[in-house]
């Protein structure tokens, strides 16, 4: 067993019975056909279940929407890449020459995919309990510092809930402009409160992003006016 594999297994706190499973999990598609994509698919499913189950246990009063948003935060690419960096997974990932030269071992997408593949390999090597426990160890810091579920709601949802709590009508969103070539669109959207005419605007590469930005700015405006919001 190579020292790199031995070090990684110590960081994972799991020893693979079959080293080939770990080797495949660390092999990016740029290196050949025998890569980690299928293991990534399996690991993604296991991770979603393990984290979902743990959140269900830790948050007995949370609504389904809050649980879903919390899980999405924990299993997103950025979070998984951070977990991969904690165990220095990038040092063990096997890349083709092109990806290696371009610094692929530092890329969030490659690190997150490799982490999921390692989880999938752990399941095939040691079974469900071993894989679930590995998921919980990898994301232990995030699980110990869970954010307030309310902060995970998107701005449009938070604005809607705030207005509903005050008995006010829902905001109206209007696309004011749509410019640029098909591959680089730019949207400008207005968010308007129909009961008082208050307006805010948002810009972005998609209508959805522009709407979210305009809602966030409206929330900031209402907060600045002394209206607490959810």
Looking at residue 225, what is its pLDDT? Answer: 56
H/E/C letters for each residue in the chain? CCHHHHHHHHHHCCCCCCHHHHHHHCECHHHCCCCCHHHHHHHHHHHHHHHHHHHHHHCCCCCHHHHHHHHHHHCCHHHHHHHHHHCCHHHCCECCHHHHHCCHHHCHHHHHHHHHHHHHHHHHHHCHHHHHHHHHHHCHHHHHCCCCHHHHCCHHHHHHHHHHHCCCCCCEEEEEEEECCHHHCEEEEEEECCCCCCEEEEEECCHHHHHHHHHHHHHHHHHHCCCCCC
With a cut of 80, say whether residue 91 has pLDDT above it: yes
Which tops the pLDDT comparison, 48 or 148?
48
With a cut of 50, say whether residue 118 has pLDDT above it: yes
Looking at residue 9, what is its pLDDT? Answer: 94
Q: What is the mean pLDDT of residues 176-191?
A: 91
Among 40, 116, 125, 216, which one carries the catalytic annotation? 116
**Domains, the chain, ranges and CATH?**
3-144 (1.10.1520.10), 153-224 (3.30.160.20)
Place 164 in a pLDDT band, splitting at 50, 70 and 90.
Answer: very high
Among 40, 44, 125, 216, which one carries the catalytic annotation? 44
> pLDDT tens digits, residue range 9-44?
999 999 999 888 999 999 998 988 889 999 999 999
- With a threshold of 0.85, does the pTM exceed it? no
Instruction: Tell me, yes or no, if 3 is annotated catalytic.
Output: no
Place 228 in a pLDDT band, splitting at 50, 70 and 90.
Answer: very low
With a cut of 90, say whether residue 151 has pLDDT above it: no
Place 65 in a pLDDT band, splitting at 50, 70 and 90.
Answer: confident
For the chain, the average pLDDT equals 90
Instruction: Tell me, yes or no, if 216 is annotated catalytic.
Output: no
Place 153 in a pLDDT band, splitting at 50, 70 and 90.
Answer: confident
């Amino acid at each position: 067993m190579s020292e790199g594999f031995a070090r990684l297994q110590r960081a994972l706190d799991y020893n693979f019975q079959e080293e080939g499973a770990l080797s495949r999990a660390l092999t990016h598609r740029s290196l050949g056909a025998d890569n980690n994509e299928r293991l990534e698919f399996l690991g993604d499913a296991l991770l979603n279940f393990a984290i979902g189950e743990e959140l269900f246990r830790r948050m007995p009063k949370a609504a389904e929407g809050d649980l879903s948003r919390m899980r999405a935060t924990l299993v997103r690419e950025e979070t998984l890449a951070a977990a991969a960096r904690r165990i220095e997974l990038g040092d063990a990932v096997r890349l083709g020459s092109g990806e290696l030269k371009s610094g692929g071992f530092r890329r969030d997408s490659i690190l997150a995919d490799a982490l999921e593949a390692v989880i999938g390999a752990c399941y095939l090597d040691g079974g469900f309990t071993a894989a679930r426990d590995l998921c919980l160890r990898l994301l232990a810091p995030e699980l110990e510092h869970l954010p307030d579920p309310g902060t995970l709601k998107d701005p449009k949802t938070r604005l809607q809930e705030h207005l509903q709590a005050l008995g006010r009508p829902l905001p109206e969103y209007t696309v004011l402009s749509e410019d640029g070539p098909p591959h680089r669109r730019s949207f400008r959207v207005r968010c308007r409160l129909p009961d008082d005419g208050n307006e805010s605007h948002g810009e972005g590469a998609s209508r959805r992003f522009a709407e979210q930005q305009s809602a966030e700015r409206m929330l900031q405006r209402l907060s600045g006016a002394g209206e607490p919001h959810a």
